[in-house]
């Protein structure tokens, strides 16, 4: 585990997840002998630790590896190489219970199931509770997210968008997960209910000591919720640190480029979206040296060498950056 992964963490909660030099490569296309024509390099050496009770924001453009990281944590794909370990009571495990709240509750909830079955779907899949208890469990979790217990026999389409997202949160909670991945949790909702959902997530985190991985393009959402932020570019973390430092004093040229599109602090940023002015290169053939070199306005001598995630120069806390101009 790199020092970066270890040190930019709040200490008060135990580490529950460690990733060490994790790589995920996919075969793409097949030649006439059935051999893969190329490899997509989705994750390219992720070192990270997650502590119980924190919210880690993950930002970057589409194709930067955020979704692959989420799939990896959920056990849907395996690392091509590297180590992913869950840690409980100092013992290392290979798997864990990770649930996800998707962006669009309209499409993520099964329209044929009554709400109590939607909420307890993870328990059915895991067979982790007796069937006779499912309804009571659903009602209990529903009341915690603000859904009335007498609505348990209704169907998802009978609820508003905000209520459906509450049901999706209840489903994620029902199996007492170790981590909940929040994948753009408010971006499909009306502005008027976004704040309610964010407040609900914050309240649930406090009362249940939940751990969130927040994937979002929306800087104001990340600023509102995250304790730490990881900025991803071409399957690498290029900057990692406290949300305040990364979002207000970005060091890596890529983070600066992303945030330049966003109004500065003090200006309304509700609709601020992370986007960069030039295109993310494909991940079939990785660049040599710094992955960001072809797009970087500050590229100079030394950028043709591979860059490691190192302590940021002049940082008060534990901030880490993958750029030799910014690191010590
Ligand atoms: Fe830019 Fe060079 Fe830093 Fe890469 S290492 S981000 S190319 S200045």
pLDDT in tens, 258-314: 998 765 433 333 444 454 555 667 788 889 999 999 999 999 999 999 999 999 998
Averaged pLDDT, 143-158: 96
Q: Order across the sheet with 320-321: list the strands.
A: 98-101, 179-183, 212-215, 55-59, 228-233, 236-242, 320-321, 310-311
Distance 284 CA to ligand 1 centre (A): 21
Residue 17 CB neighbour total at 10 angstroms? 21
Is 145:115 a contact under the CB 8 Å cutoff?
Answer: no
- Separation CA 283–CA 268 (nearest Å): 34
Angle value at C-alpha 70, between 161 and 127, nearest 5 degrees: 75
Q: Are strands 212-215 and 55-59 parallel, antiparallel or unpaired?
A: parallel
Instruction: Give the residue whose CA is nearest to atom 3 of ligand 1.
Output: 323
Ligand 1 pocket test, pick from 290, 304, 328 with the greatest ligand atom count within 8 Å of Cβ, gives: 290
Q: Which residues line ligand 1 (CB under 6 A)?
A: 253, 290, 292-293, 296, 298-299, 303, 307, 323-325
Q: Is 101 exposed, middle or buried (0-12, 13-18, 19+ CB in 10 A)?
A: buried
Gap between the Cα atoms of 115 and 162, Å rounded: 14
- Give the model's pLDDT for residue 217: 84
How far away, in angstroms, is 66 Cα from ligand 1 center?
21
**Residue ranges of domains in the chain, CATH in brackets:** 3-96+217-321 (3.40.50.300)
Rounded mean pLDDT, 179-190? 92
Mean pLDDT of 126-142: 92
For 43, residues 6+ apart whose C-beta sits below 8 A from its C-beta are: 22, 23, 24, 65, 68, 69, 72, 79, 235
The pLDDT tens digits of the residues spanning 205-262 come to 999 999 999 998 888 899 999 999 999 999 999 999 999 999 999 999 999 999 987 6
| Residues β-bridged to residue 39 | 27
Burial class (CB in 10 A: 0-12, 13-18, 19+), 40: middle
Q: Note the pLDDT tens digit of each residue in 70-129.
A: 999 999 999 999 999 998 766 776 667 899 999 888 888 999 999 999 999 999 988 888
Do 171 and 118 touch, CB atoms closer than 8 A?
yes
Q: Which residue has the tokens 């406290």?
A: 242
Residues 164-188, mean pLDDT to the nearest whole number: 94
Please, which pLDDT band fits residue 158 given cuts at 50, 70 and 90? very high
Dihedral (CA of 110, 115, 120, 124) sign: negative
Distance 54 CA to ligand 1 centre (A): 30
CA distance linking residue 318 with residue 129, whole number of Å: 42
């Amino acid at each position: 585990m790199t020092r970066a992964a270890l040190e930019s963490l709040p200490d008060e909660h135990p580490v529950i997840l460690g990733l060490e030099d994790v790589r995920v490569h996919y075969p793409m296309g097949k030649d006439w002998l059935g051999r893969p024509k190329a490899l997509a390099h989705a994750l390219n050496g992720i070192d990270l630790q997650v502590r119980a009770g924190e919210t880690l924001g993950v930002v970057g453009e589409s194709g930067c590896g955020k979704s692959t990281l989420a799939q990896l944590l959920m056990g849907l794909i395996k690392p091509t190489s590297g180590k992913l370990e869950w840690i409980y009571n100092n013992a290392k495990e290979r798997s864990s219970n990770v649930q996800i709240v998707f962006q669009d509750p309209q499409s993520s909830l099964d329209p044929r199931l009554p709400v109590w079955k939607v909420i307890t779907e993870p328990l059915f899949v895991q067979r982790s509770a007796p069937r006779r208890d499912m309804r009571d469990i659903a009602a209990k979790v529903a009341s915690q997210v603000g859904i009335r217990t007498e609505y348990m026999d209704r169907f998802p389409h009978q609820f508003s968008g905000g209520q459906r997202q509450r049901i999706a949160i209840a489903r994620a909670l029902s199996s007492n997960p170790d981590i909940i991945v929040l994948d753009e949790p408010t971006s499909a909702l009306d502005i008027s209910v976004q704040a309610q959902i964010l407040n609900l997530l914050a309240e649930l985190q406090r009362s249940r000591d939940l751990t969130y991985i927040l994937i979002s393009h929306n800087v104001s959402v990340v600023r509102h919720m995250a304790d730490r932020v990881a900025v991803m570019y071409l399957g690498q973390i290029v900057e990692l640190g406290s949300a305040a430092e990364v979002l207000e004093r970005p060091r890596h040229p890529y983070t600066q480029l992303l945030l330049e599109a966003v109004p500065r602090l003090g200006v309304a940023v509700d609709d601020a979206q992370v986007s960069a002015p030039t295109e993310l290169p494909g991940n079939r053939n990785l660049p040599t040296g710094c992955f960001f070199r072809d797009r970087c306005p500050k590229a100079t001598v030394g950028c043709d060498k591979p860059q490691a995630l190192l302590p940021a120069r002049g940082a008060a806390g534990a901030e880490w950056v993958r750029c030799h101009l910014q690191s010590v």
